[in-house]
Structure 1
């Protein structure tokens, strides 16, 4: 059952990442021609953190309203932190070569409007109700046998 829960969490986070990335790509990146590789790295870090936090939150918190209350600030904070992690990973030598000051500015602006503070709580709720539904179905099937 734990593997099914993990698959559900990863699946919904990938769907949320795709929705958020497509929203931001159409609105910002396509207009300003920001290099997509840097943005994908930033988004990968962001949603990797979201997956790890989702696993923790869904194991500890059982009420849906508490998931939403925790998800909104986490969705906002993690999204703002991902460009900072990217800067720390790249180092000073590559910043001047790739004009990373401009790119980091664009990542910071786009991370504010990616709607992860709305999408992430929705992901948590979808995971919560999917896992709960699967547990109810499996318990009913176990009782029938």
Structure 2
């Protein structure tokens, strides 16, 4: 039995945790179905609620070596903001949300080997795609553009896979 499931939609799986989003409460419950460990993250300040919000949300849980803690990172697809919250040790909950702004629209986010990557595009063209690394190093988290080259058409929408 998964706790706190009523009125929540499962957005996916990250680091063994089911990501559950409350459409009315706008908060996130992450539940590991094997260990039953839970992490709760408060509502995100700027998510606009509509009937397709759960389709647009992209979220990952990652252990950040620079912060020495678990971090929950989310964005709403095609916006210019990434939100993250640091899990509070021993309490199973997250702290306040922090925002990192991007110059490009964010398509997807993904964690790989302890790093967080974003896939973005310039608002005027799907052909101008970028991969950035989200660095949470204190005191100022930032997006760093990586040198990549994409080949594709304007009818292609990319997502990360692993």
Structure with more strand by fraction: 2
Instruction: Decide: shared fold, TM above 0.5.
Output: no
Structure with more helix by fraction: 1
- Relative to the length of structure 2, the TM-score reads 0.23
- Relative to the length of structure 1, the TM-score reads 0.25
Query: Rg larger in 1 or in 2?
Result: 1
